[in-house]
Amino acid sequence: MAMNIKEVILYDADSLEYSGKILVDGNNWQFSEVSNNFLLTFTKGMQLKAMLQCLISFNIVYDIIES
């Protein structure tokens, strides 16, 4: 069964402090409450799966919220 991702909650990998979220609408996604401008620029235009794979490079882990 395919995942129906609605939201991705982001956390700092070391402290597990909240770092923002990603809102997902079908094949489109956007960051919300994320302040790392390099992350925003680097991942712009990426597909969701590709972007999620590179989050650890920014010391970010995540939790997927499905509907």
5-30 pLDDT tens trace: 899 999 999 999 999 999 999 889 99
**Torsion sign, CA atoms 6, 51, 1, 27:** positive
Confidence band, pLDDT 50/70/90 cuts, at residue 4: confident
Write the CB contacts of 24 (distance below 8 Å, at least 6 apart in sequence): 5, 6, 7, 8, 48
Q: CA 67, CA 65: separation in Å to the nearest integer?
A: 7
pTM of the model: 0.90
In sequence order, the β-bridge partners of residue 20 are 10
